[in-house]
């Protein structure tokens, strides 16, 4: 995707037709082949081509690159209080930002359910004069679907296979609830007395982080699975640039970079992406372009315990979302399902009237749960394997019967009771909501994708962590819990909207830096944040980037690491079409002025340069504090930087990394922090891997 050669969109589209005509042989064929013409923020197109036609197109001198269309999946009350965003504190970010008043957030997702109370526009003024978007209509969505809150809505189905469009609304209306959930997390108005499926779980006030922001909806994801294509997402990004959004929120984990997002950033639009739900496996983080904010998911201080009462009066505690108090008040026979509770094994067992224990770690899927319910099971108890998204298991029961997740110790105690009792019985009580300091939080969620980046190891990803587990937000006319980095992403998008309101002159890089450098690496007990997995461990930068987001601190970061989007051009070109000089450049991506440092190939020594800009008081002195990665010496010059009134408010420093011993090792981690006397603590994460040789061919 290249820069536009002409400001008139029709001329850009005509050039796309001409290019296709030269390959297909006729203007009519070109017009029929093209699916999307990207003509507003950047120049490019999506077209239906054979493999040979694509190869011929790629040979044309005006073509930067040709890529196949790929498909991706969308990755959803208490969380804002947990982050300390107090609506009424005069000195807080929300108040200073006037609740995000008139900041326009573009949400590229599965659409919107406009009737939700979260999107009521009562009290809103006229649309911002800079807004140039449209309200597209379609099935079950007319112009009344837009208002002064949802100020625009578009939809893109070209390039999506028919099987994923079956039963869908061919309009901006949300079919699966994902887009409505993320949009209401960003900018939903305050809604009192809501809870998960109105069950009482998680009851309280639901609100968006920037409740006075405006929403622009771009439906690019379809079906129950929320499938999006590169073509539809690019079309949405292109329109969003033209429409005039300030922030783009994409709760999508793409396996390839979306080049159009660089053009958005170049126009001052901050782009926020979900990091993916493939954790805790390393090198699974998605959306690793250096100009976007990539978000990991973390827990909040809320759990939903339920009591399991055994027939011997022993009581155990698990996690559940079951809320039918009447159905849970009886004791049922306890049946141990064996090492596997899959559909095949359970077909030979009579589960009718039984609560079934599935002690193995790989026994959970919606098909099995559905079959159990149809067979008359009265409940399911699962072993909590930490690599699994627990909420998906519990939600699969959908209120039809108790599903409880317990730890390994509880499984052993239940099995012991069942095997040593002639007629074991069990009663599962309704879940309750527990909130507060007694809940260890935040923790990086097990499902949250981990670094390092497999494509660009010199760029440290993810960037930051945010709440993404059991987040309550709007779905249709109700409210539901969802979990995923998809839910973490809109939390950061809302904070970006607030920061843009307070600092309208800040670039996307400055906003990104403020968020990363003020993030916390300690939990609510002052201990290092933990990362869930097998086993649980202290979180490192490949789990949570700079740390867990601290919105109120980001308003005054002291120093920021800014970067001109033009500095990304070389990276952009090399990632699309590697040239002879790209290998050397891509091997030194750590020289980009990012608020993090990742050196993936330290053989002897490397010098990394960074420039900081003072956005605090005009007179300030900062001193450096370094936590060196194990096995590496780190020297920062100069160790002190001073800013004077009337002088330059930028300072450049160098960081010299030297391997203390020649070993082929894994990554080790540290940090570099600038501190002043005004309580600014400007911290960036550091990851270094020492190596002996670059390639096998080096050994002879």
- For the chain, domains (ranges, CATH) are 9-66 (3.30.70), 72-301+439-555 (3.40.50.200), 306-432 (3.50.30.30), 596-698 (2.60.40.2310)
Torsion, CA 188, CA 190, CA 85, CA 514, rounded to 10: 20
Q: Give yes or no for a contact between 188 and 181, defined as CB atoms under 8 angstroms apart.
A: no
In the prediction, which pLDDT does 36 show? Answer: 63
Cα–Cα dist 58/54, whole Å: 6
Cα–Cα dist 564/572, whole Å: 13
Residue 93: cis peptide before it, omega within 30 degrees of 0: no
More confident of the two residues 405 and 331: 405
Q: Which of 29-43, 142-156, 299-313, 570-584 holds the top average pLDDT? A: 142-156
Catalytic residue positions?
109, 178, 486
Phi-psi region of 544 (alpha: psi -120 to 50; beta: other; left: phi over 0): alpha
Q: How high does pLDDT run on average in the chain?
A: 87
Count of residues for the chain?
700
Residue 327: phi and psi, rounded to 5, are -70, -20
> pLDDT band at 540, cuts 50/70/90?
very high
Report the half-sphere exposure of 327 (CA within 13 A, side-chain side). 14
- 291-327 pLDDT, tens digit each: 999 999 999 988 888 889 999 989 998 888 877 665 5
Residue 11: is its pLDDT beyond 80? no
More confident of the two residues 109 and 61: 109
What's the rounded mean pLDDT across residues 506-518?
99
Residue 85: is its pLDDT beyond 90? no
> pLDDT band at 76, cuts 50/70/90?
very low
Q: Which residues pair with 109 in a beta bridge?
A: 219
Q: What is the pTM of this model?
A: 0.86
What's the rounded mean pLDDT across residues 537-566?
96
In the prediction, which pLDDT does 697 show? Answer: 40
- Longest CA–CA span in the chain (Å) reads 85
In the prediction, which pLDDT does 388 show? Answer: 52
Cα–Cα dist 533/276, whole Å: 15
In the prediction, which pLDDT does 333 show? Answer: 85
More confident of the two residues 11 and 41: 11
- Other C-beta atoms closer than 10 Å to the C-beta of 665 total 18
Q: Which of 239-248, 320-329, 500-509, 617-626 has the lowest mean pLDDT?
A: 320-329
What's the rounded mean pLDDT across residues 382-395?
65
* Nearest to 636, CA basis, from 669, 602, 673: 673
Q: Which residues of 285-304 are buried (b: 16+ CB within 10 A; e: fewer)?
A: bbbbbbbbbbbbbbbbbbbb
Token pair, residue 396, equals 């699969």
Phi-psi region of 338 (alpha: psi -120 to 50; beta: other; left: phi over 0): left
Q: Which helix (H) or strand (E) holds 266?
A: helix 260-266
- 440-492 pLDDT, tens digit each: 899 999 899 999 999 899 999 999 999 999 899 999 999 999 999 999 999 99
Cα–Cα dist 424/312, whole Å: 9
Q: Which residues of 175-198 are buried (b: 16+ CB within 10 A; e: fewer)?
A: bbbbbbbbbbbbbbbebeebbbbe
């Amino acid at each position: 995707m290249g820069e536009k050669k002409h400001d008139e969109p029709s001329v850009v589209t005509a050039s796309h037709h001409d290019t296709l005509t030269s390959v297909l042989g006729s203007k009519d064929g070109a017009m029929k082949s093209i699916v999307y013409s990207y003509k507003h923020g950047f120049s490019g197109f999506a077209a239906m081509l054979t493999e040979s036609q694509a190869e011929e197109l790629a040979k044309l001198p005006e073509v930067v690159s040709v890529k196949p269309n790929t498909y991706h999946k969308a990755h959803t009350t208490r969380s804002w209080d947990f982050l300390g965003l107090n609506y009424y504190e005069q000195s807080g970010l929300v108040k200073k930002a006037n609740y995000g008043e008139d900041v326009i957030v573009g949400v590229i997702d599965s659409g919107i359910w406009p009737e939700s109370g979260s999107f009521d526009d009562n009290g809103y003024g006229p649309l911002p004069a800079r807004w140039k978007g449209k309200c597209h209509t379609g099935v079950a969505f007319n112009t009344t679907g837009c208002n002064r809150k949802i100020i625009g809505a578009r939809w893109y189905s070209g390039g999506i296979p028919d099987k994923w469009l079956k039963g869908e609304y061919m309009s901006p209306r949300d079919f699966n609830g994902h887009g409505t959930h993320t949009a209401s997390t960003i900018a939903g108005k305050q809604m009192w007395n809501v809870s998960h499926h109105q069950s009482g779980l998680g009851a309280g006030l639901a609100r968006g982080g920037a409740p006075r922001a405006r929403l622009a909806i771009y439906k690019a994801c379809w079906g129950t699975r929320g499938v999006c294509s590169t073509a539809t997402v690019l079309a949405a990004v292109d329109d969003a640039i033209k429409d005039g959004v300030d922030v783009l929120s994409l709760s999508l984990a793409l396996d390839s970079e979306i080049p159009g997002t660089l053009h958005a950033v170049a126009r001052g639009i901050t782009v926020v992406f979900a990091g993916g739900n493939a954790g805790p496996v390393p090198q699974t983080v998605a959306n690793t372009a250096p100009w976007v904010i990539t978000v990991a998911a973390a827990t909040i201080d809320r759990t939903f315990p339920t009591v399991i009462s055994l027939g011997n009066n022993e009581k155990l505690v698990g996690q559940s979302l079951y809320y039918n108090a009447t159905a849970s008040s009886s004791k049922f026979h306890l049946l141990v399902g064996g090492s596997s509770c899959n559909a095949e094994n359970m077909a030979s067992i009579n589960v009718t009237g039984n609560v079934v224990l599935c002690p193995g770690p790989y026994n959970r899927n919606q098909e099995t749960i559905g079959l159990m319910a149809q067979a008359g099971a009265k409940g399911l108890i699962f072993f909590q394997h930490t690599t699994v998204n627990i909420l998906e298991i519990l939600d699969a029961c959908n209120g039809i019967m108790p599903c409880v997740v317990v730890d390994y110790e509880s499984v052993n105690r239940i099995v012991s009771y069942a095997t040593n009792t002639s007629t074991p019985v069990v009663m599962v009580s309704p879940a309750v909501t527990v909130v507060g300091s007694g809940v260890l939080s935040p923790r990086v969620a097990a499902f949250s994708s981990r670094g390092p980046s497999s494509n660009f190891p010199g760029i440290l990803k993810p960037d930051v962590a945010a709440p993404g587990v059991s987040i309550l937000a709007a779905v249709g006319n109700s409210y539901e819990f969802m979990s995923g980095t998809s839910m973490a992403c809109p939390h950061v998008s809302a904070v970006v909207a607030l920061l843009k309101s307070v600092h309208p002159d800040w670039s996307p890089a400055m906003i990104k830096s403020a968020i990363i450098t003020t993030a916390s690496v300690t939990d609510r007990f002052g201990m290092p944040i933990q990362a869930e997995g097998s086993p649980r461990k202290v979180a490192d930068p490949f789990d949570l980037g700079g740390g867990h987001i601290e919105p109120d601190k980001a308003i005054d970061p002291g120093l920021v690491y800014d970067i001109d989007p033009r500095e990304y051009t070389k990276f952009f070109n090399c990632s699309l079409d590697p040239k002879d000089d790209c290998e050397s450049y891509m091997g030194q991506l750590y020289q980009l002025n990012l608020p993090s440092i990742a050196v993936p190939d330290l053989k002897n020594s490397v010098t990394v340069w960074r420039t900081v800009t003072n956005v605090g008081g005009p007179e300030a002195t900062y001193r450096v504090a370094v936590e060196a990665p194990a096995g590496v010496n780190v020297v920062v010059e100069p160790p002190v930087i001073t800013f004077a009134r009337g002088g330059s408010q930028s300072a450049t420093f160098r960081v010299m990394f030297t391997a203390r011993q020649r070993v082929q090792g894994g990554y080790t981690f540290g940090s570099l922090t600038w501190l002043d006397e005004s309580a600014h603590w400007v911290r960036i994460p550091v990851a270094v891997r020492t190596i002996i040789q670059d390639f096998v061919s080096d050994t002879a």
